[in-house]
Structure 1
Amino acid sequence: MKLEAVNYQDADAAKRFVESLRDYGFGVLIHHPLAQSQIESIYQNWLAFFHSEEKYHYHFKKGCMDGYFPPDVSETAKGYHVKDIKEYFHFYHPWGICPPELKAELLAYRQAANQVAETLLTWVEQYSPPAVAQHYREPLSSMIADSDQTLLRVLHYPPLSGTENPSAFRAAAHEDINLLTILPAANEPGLQVKLRDGSWLDVPCDTGYLIVNIGDMLQEASAGYFPSTTHRVLAPTPEHRHKSRLSLPLFLHPRQDVVLSERYTAESYLKERLKELGVA
C-alpha cells in the first residue's frame, strides 16, 4: 500500500485528490504550480540561518508565536512528555518578523502556496457530500481569505549528536491544528502517516512532490467527515544521522472570527490546542 501521486493538471485531479484525503487524511500532488528551484533555494538559505548565531536575535516571544523556536522550547506532542528533536521559525504575513535578507523569497513562496491552497480547498468543498457541505458556515477557500493567522514554518531537524533521549522523535505522532497543511517534499525521508488499522505508512519524499494533509479544523468543520490523520517524523536511520532534514509546511488557518462548528470558532480552537502543546 502506498499513497498514489495525483497529477495536479489532470482533468480528474480534484476528485482523486479529495478521495485520497478522505481515505488517508493525506494527498500527494505532482506537476503542481510551486517551483522546485524556489523551494530548494529556501532550504539552502535557511539551513545557513539555522547554523548561524543570527537566529537567536529572532527568539519568539510568548503570545506572538512568530520568530525562532530553539530545540529547548520545541513542541511536545499531545500525550508525550519528550520534546521533538527540531528547531523552527514561524513567519506570519503581514505582521510577523523575518530576517530582511530572507523575507522576499519566503513571502513569494507563501503567496504562491496560498494560491494553490485556495484551489485545493475549493476541490475539497466541491467533492464534499451535500450532508457534509451543509456544515460549512462559509466557503472553505474564503475562510483563509485575508487571514493573518496562516503560518509558514521553516523546520530544521538537526543531525543527531548521540545524546538525544532514545524515545524522542524528530516529530512525535500528532495531528495538525489547521484546515489543510501544504508541504513540499522534505530533503530527507522520515514522514509517516498512521492508517486506520494502526499501521504506519511512509509518505513519499520524491523531489517535486507536494504533500497535503487534513488538520483538526477541517475535521471539526466537516463534522468528522475529513479525518485529521495522525502523522510523525522518525528519527533518522544510522546512515542518515549526520544529515539535516528541512521542511516547509504552510498551515492554513482561517480568520479568527470564522465559525468552525457549534463548539468552536477558529480563535477558540487555536488557543485550546496551543495550550495543549505547551507553547502558549
Structure 2
Amino acid sequence: MPARTVPQVRRWNCPPVTRENVDWAQLATIDLARARTPEGRAEQVEIARDAMHKQGFFYVVNHGFDLAENQRMIDIASVAFEEVDDEEKARYQARIKETGTYLGYKLPQYWVIANGVRDRITHYNFPRNVHDRNHPEALRPYLPEIQEMVEFTHCTILHEVQKLLSLGLELPENTLSDMHPFDDTNHSFWRFMLYDPRSEEEERKTEGVWMKGHADHMSFTALWSQPVTALQIKDHDGQWRYVKHVENAVIINCGDFTEYLTGGYYKSAVHRVIKPPADQEGYRRLNLIYFGYTSDNVVLRPLLESPVIQRTGLTKVIEGEHPTMEKWRKTRTAVYGVSELKKAADGSEYEIVNGVKVTHHH
C-alpha cells in the first residue's frame, strides 16, 4: 500500500535538556515490550503495582509509537497556539464552569496562582472522538492524525497499563480496562498545552510556581515526556523532586478517581509545575497530554473484591454517597482553581468537592 500523504506542518524546535544539577525523582519504568512474554509480564506487573502504590508515577517505554511520530505531534500541537489568532481562540473558548469540561481553549489568566498572579497557560482540548465537535480551521487538516494518537494512547498504552495494574491487585486483568472503554460512554480528552515564560516580578510573587501542586481528578493521565524541566512530584518522603525527560517515554500518573477506587492502595500523585532551571529560562513548554476517565456510569466504590485491598484495608474512602464518574468529573472540573479555598494548618489550601478534601499544594 502507498504511504498516506499527510499535510505539511512547521517544525517546533524543542529546547535542549537541562545540564543543571537538580534533584531527580527516581521513577520506575514499565517496558511494554517485556510485558509480551509470561515471565516479563509478571515482572512488569510487580513494577507497575509497586510504583503506583509508592509514588503514583512511572514511565512507559517501548509502547510502539516512534520518535518521529512523537515529534510530528508536537509540531501539530504548536499549530493550536501559533497559527490560530486571538479572535478565533476566543470563539473556541471552553465554557469550563458552565459545562464541567475543558473542551476548546483554556486561555491564560484563568487560574489564580498566588499573590494576584494568574496563570500563563494556554491549552486546547479535544474530545476522545475529535470529530464530535468543530475545531479551529488551522487544526482541521491534522484531525485524522490526532484521532489516531488519541486512540493509540487510550487503547494501546493505557489499556495495557490498566491490565498490569489490575493484575497487581490480584484481579482479572481486564478489570480496569473494561471500566475505560473507547466508546461514547467515555469522556476522556486530549490536550495540547503551552506554558509561556513569566516576568521576574511574577516569578518572585509566586516563588517560581507555574501551577500549584495538585492531584489529577481523573483515573489516569498519560503525559508525553518533553525536555523543559519544570514538572515536579511530591515524592513518597514529602520532598518535591523533578521528573526527568526520557525521550519518547510516556509518564503515567494515577489520579484521585483510581486512588479512591482502590481504597488508597494506588496513590494519586501530587505534582506541580515550576520555573525551569537557569539554562532553560525563557523557553516555551509544549505538552501532549491524555486525561483518562472511566465510563460515566461507573460508581466510585472501592474494589473490595481485590485480595490486595482486603489484606491492606481501606485508607481512602468517600464520606456519604458514592458519585458516578460523570458527577465526579463535571464537579471537579467546574470548580478547580476558581472556587474559594480554605487554609489548612500546614499552610496548604483545600476545598471539599463530592465529599472529598481536594488539596492545593505550594
TM-score range, shorter chain: 0.7 to 0.9
The residue identity in structure 2 corresponding to 1:16 is I
Percent identity over the alignment?
22
Structure 1 residue 164 corresponds to structure 2 residue 202:
yes
Q: Cα distance 1:220–1:171, how it changes in 2: closer, same or farther (>3 A)?
A: same
- How far has the Cα of 1:106 moved from its partner? 1.2
Q: Distance in 1 between matches of 2:324 and 2:79?
A: 38
**Selected match of 2:176 from 121, 126, 140:** 140
| 2:55 matched residue in structure 1 | 24
Query: Does 2:269 match 1:269?
Result: no
Cα pair 1:71 1:86 within 8 Å, conserved: yes
The answer for the alignment partner of 2:308 in structure 1 is: none
In the alignment, which residue of structure 1 is the partner of 2:276?
236
Residues 272 and 124 from structure 1, CA distance in 2 versus in 1: closer, same or farther, beyond 3 angstroms?
same
Distance 2:94 2:243 in 1: 30
Whether the 8 Å contact between 1:150 and 1:253 is mirrored in structure 2 is yes
Greater CA deviation, 217-226 or 63-72?
Answer: 63-72
Q: Secondary structure at the match of 2:30?
A: strand
Report what 1:7 is aligned to: 31
Whole-angstrom CA distance in 1 between matches of 2:261 and 2:115 = 26
Residue 89 (structure 1) aligns with: 124
Residues 256 and 267 in structure 1, CA contact (< 8 A), matched pair in contact too: yes
Q: Which moved more, 1:163-172 or 1:232-241?
A: 163-172
Count of residues in Structure 1 that have an aligned counterpart in Structure 2: 272
Task: Work out which of the residue numbers 206, 213, 216 in structure 2 matches 1:173.
Answer: 213
Q: Is the 8 A contact 1:45 1:102 kept in 2?
A: yes
For the 8 Å contact 1:175–1:216, the answer to whether it is kept is yes
CA offset digits 1:59-83 (Å, max 9, x no partner): 223415311111122x457x99754
Q: Once the 2 structures are TM-superposed, how far is the Cα of residue 248 of structure 1 from its aligned partner?
A: 1.2
Question: How much does 1:7 deviate?
Answer: 2.1
What is the aligned partner in structure 2 of residue 49 from structure 1? 80
Pairing 1:44-193 to 2, within 5 Å after superposition: 44-52=75-83, 53=85, 54-62=88-96, 63=99, 64-73=101-110, 75-76=111-112, 82-94=117-129, 95-98=132-135, 99-115=139-155, 116-129=157-170, 139-145=175-181, 146=183, 147-162=185-200, 164=202, 166=204, 167=206, 169-193=209-233
C-alpha distance after superposition, 1:4-61 (max 9, x if no partner): 3232222122321222111111111222222322221121222233123153442223
Please state whether the residue corresponding to 1:101 is helix, strand or coil: helix
Change (3 A) 1:197 1:72: same
Are the equivalent residues in 1 in contact too, given 2:48–2:168 (CA < 8 A)? no
**1:177-220 superposed Cα distances (whole Å, 9 cap, x missing partner):** 11111111023111111123210222121212211010000011
| Equivalence map 1:175-254=2 (5 Å) | 175-254=215-294
Per-residue CA shift, 1:213-268, capped at 9, x if unaligned?
10000011111111111011111234322211111111111121111125221112
Residue in structure 1 matched with residue 354 of structure 2 by the alignment = none
Structure 2: distance between partners of 1:93 and 1:80: 36
Structure 1 Cα separation of the partners of residues 335 and 91 of structure 2: 27
Root mean square deviation, CA, Å: 2.5
Contact 2:89 2:105 in 1 (8 A): yes
Query: Match of 1:247, SS?
Result: strand
Structure with the greater alpha carbon radius of gyration:
2
Query: Distance between the aligned counterparts of 1:164 and 1:207, measured in 2?
Result: 31
Residue by residue over 1:131-170, the C-alpha shift from the partner in whole angstroms, topping out at 9 and shown as x without a partner, is xx9xxxx921111112431011111112334453530523
Q: Identify the range of structure 1 (95-104 vs 20-29) with the bigger mean alpha-carbon deviation.
A: 95-104
Where has structure 1 moved over 6 Å in runs of 4 or more?
none
2:209 is paired with a residue of what secondary structure? coil
The two structures have a TM-score, normalised by structure 2, of 0.69
The 2-side partners of 1:247 and 1:65 are apart by 16
Larger RCO, structure (CA 8 Å, separation 6 or more)? 1
